[in-house]
Structure 1
Amino acid sequence: MQIKFFCPKWGSDNITWDAFCAKVKAAGYDGVETPVPFDASEQQEIITAIKDHGLLLIGQYYQSFEKDFEAHKGSFKKYMEYLAAMQPLLIDSQTGKDYFTAAQNSELFEIAQAVTNETGVTIAHETHRNKALFAAHITKELLVANSDVVITADFSHWCNVSESLLEQQQESLDVATSRTVHIHARVGHAESAQVSDPRATEWSAEVEAHLTWWDAIIDYRLKSGAQLSTITPEFGPAPYMPALPYTKMPVANQWDINVYMMRMLRERYKGIDEENIKNNE
């Protein structure tokens, strides 16, 4: 099994796409994860930069803003079809709302599956606050009820929602592990979806908990015969990143943290890629 690492565009707004992709490639990533605007010229700029620098693309959807379900459903379908038409490696989707019913969120999953069936592009529904999969126990129920749904595992959100490191929710974690196709490697804690800096020793328990969850996902996918696993280190800028009062200066460097996470996880899972290369010789 190969493991590919992706860099989030989130937090790198004040840089051209060509410069961003050059920076991403130089840092050692395999691709980028980004929303793609409907504007044709911006879309072409993104596609050109990614192609010129030999990078892969994960499309990202977060624009689940409409409160009215029918309007929401129409917008969701439009975005899924648009992103899938670009033939990304996969789509990470912040699907639905925590206040929609299970039936409504399931209807959105069905729309996504229809797009996957038509285009061949996998849509991974993210475990994200305020979305359909906002909490571990709710996700378990929805995954059991919707057997085709696969997910982006961002368990940092669940830590925040449950004010815990999920010590009492192993059954939900087990179900989620079996349905994960993509990982957002951000470390959360009981009071926030992002620790200030995962390199700091005061967060060692939180880092170890997340590593245990990610190891379980990689191990499950390896044993199930998956050919590819994808990981996006996704520490974000302020307000995800804690900032000093008044000056609003971030307490750590987002880019440096994500590069650290990418390189640490690449080293951690190096043996898997090396075994894959050996088996294909």
Structure 2
Amino acid sequence: MKKRLQVLMDQLWFVLIASFLFVFILLLSDYSALSAGRNIQGVTYYITNSANVIVNQDHSSSPPHHDHTTPTSSSSPNESKSWLTLNVTNSTTTANNNTVKSVVINNPPVQPMSSGIGKNISDSASDSCSGRYIYVHNLPKRFNQDLLKNCHSLQRWTDMCPYISNMGLGPRIKNSKKQLVGNGWFATNQFLLEVIFHNRMKQYKCLTYDSSLASAVFVPFYPGLDVGRYLWDYNISMRDASPLEFVKWLSNMPEWKKMWGRDHFLVGGRIAWDFRRQTDKDSAWGSKLMFLPEAKT
């Protein structure tokens, strides 16, 4: 029993002594690291041609508010300049056993911005419509306004004339029994989205008459109202007449040729099935507007 107790005591003392030595070594390591840290003299900017630029900085002063990027001179006239990326070092750097040279710059120069660039940045910042301009094509009236003039014939079973009032929202709903909250309620027809969107676009604050400034081009064609007249008892020639004339006119415009229509958009006030006829049979439904070559660009 005494021998077992003696063995346990010896093991305990061994653990205590080993722990003390381990802590002592850690303290020495921390002290040496802190002492070495006081010798750091500056910030090193590593560049692609393995030369360093060291910027001396007084540690008692506050750090600069902006990073400076400075080109270094090449070792030969034909060697291109390299730009600097930030890193930190406390001694001469070596790479692949080759000593890297350094150049000391006390005050890195700030590169001035040219007045032309500054003006462009200022103008862009002051223009709230920058990147939001939209150009609207002035289509021949037969593609939109004339359709509304013949509103009685837009739908086979419905007189659409009352519904084009209030910019396409339709007649205002009378709320005599106060069953609706507020007064902004209208009897809107489901096929008048094209008219509503066109009228809203007219109120967009970032419209432009200069198509070169536009980020997008709106085409106010009413394809849904057009094809709605010929969905029943008409052949495909009647259903495709306006779409074919429309894409012919549009593809000749300089705005279209700029990006071949990739920045153009229009609104269709019917389901996509009404514009995606894939055959030339009179019994097939709808027009082939969405399958025309211009629509696939």
Normalization by structure 2: what TM-score? 0.24
Which structure ranks higher in relative contact order (CA pairs < 8 Å, sequence separation ≥ 6)? 1
